[in-house]
Amino acid sequence: MSNTRHVPVMLQRCLDLLAPALEGSGEREAVVVDCTLGLGGHSEALLSRFPAVRLIALDRDPEALRLSAERLAPFGDRATLVHAVYDELPQVLDRLDVPRVQGVLFDLGVSSMQLDEADRGFAYAQDAPLDMRMDQTTGVSAAEVLNTYAPGELVRILRMYGEEKQAKRIVSAIVREREKEPFTTSARLVQLIRDALPQAAKRTGGNPAKRTFQALRIEVNGELSVLERAVPAAVGALDIGGRIAVLSYHSLEDRLVKQVLAAGAATTAPPGLPVVPEEYQPRLKLLTRGAELPTEEEVAENRRAAPARLRGAERIRKDVR
């Protein structure tokens, strides 16, 4: 499989956001963490643009690590690739004896490779085994979720993670069908969703299976609970003047990132204090006004950039214990 078709999303803007922290690190070696290595497009650009920087890159997908290792080989020992989920960042840094980092990048969601490799089961546009695990060596597959979860639990997942208004209708059909024969492939699920939805629901929002597939993927990979731990951990690892940039692809991710960054940028002092003591001062300064969107030109060139939302922040203060 070629790396050439992989176009990193909002690449230039991510590099510009992180640049002041990675260029201005003085005497010490600046360390940047790519928490979601994927096919290595952002990592390669970080190493190229900032020649003095050391990169630590995480991915839970062994195949992504293998392909990226080839791509980043020319950079030698400036790149350290680690098989880990991104909420394991504190343990990874501990193991590598890196107390603080100057930059962190998250590019959330499914990588191009996972979408493009039919047998991974992420894409609803092609028939494939219903897997959806980002790391196929561990955890339960999407088929197991569909075939074994209680109906109420499936409804909760579709509503919460897919924001699917027709969750009850879809789940009723799933439960009926799985009793006849367990689900194994994506095409059967897509057809079931098409048949279950009323005409009006099929006329808007692209492929009617999109929300169900998103919900299953988030459940299978524990994406939101991982992210809930990972973003605060990344903020905690930043040096003073260090920067974080996060690319999200749906409202649930973006909301979570927004909450963590906004909380870090707010004072925690009780209201009415004439002077805010040091321990209540904000730890972060927001670098984006709301979430930044890709340009029309970028979306025209790379349709996967369309839903992207970018937020950034700078660490301005230590934690005061």
Instruction: Enumerate the known binding-site residues for S-adenosyl-L-methionine.
Output: 40-42, 59, 86, 107, 114
The partner residues of 54 in beta bridges, in order of sequence, read 31
- Cβ atoms of 288 and 262 closer than 8 Å: no
- Cβ atoms of 185 and 127 closer than 8 Å: yes
| Segments in the chain forming alpha helices (H) | 11-23, 41-49, 62-72, 89-95, 112-116, 142-148, 151-162, 167-180, 186-196, 199-202, 210-221, 223-237, 251-264, 296-301
Indicate the helix (H) or strand (E) that contains 79: strand 79-83
Binding site feature residues: 40-42, 59, 86, 107, 114
- Cβ atoms of 254 and 320 closer than 8 Å: no
> What are 224's two structure tokens?
């939101």
The partner residues of 247 in beta bridges, in order of sequence, read 107, 310
CA distances from 94 to 104, 231, 237, 240, 304 (A): 16, 17, 10, 18, 34
Sign of the alpha-carbon dihedral angle for 124, 125, 129, 131: negative
> What are 282's two structure tokens?
């904000």
How many other C-beta atoms can be found within 10 angstroms of the C-beta atom of residue 118?
14
Cβ within 8 Å of residue 256, ≥6 positions away: 224, 227, 228, 231
Q: How far apart are CA 75 and CA 79, in angstroms?
A: 7
> What are 38's two structure tokens?
């994927």
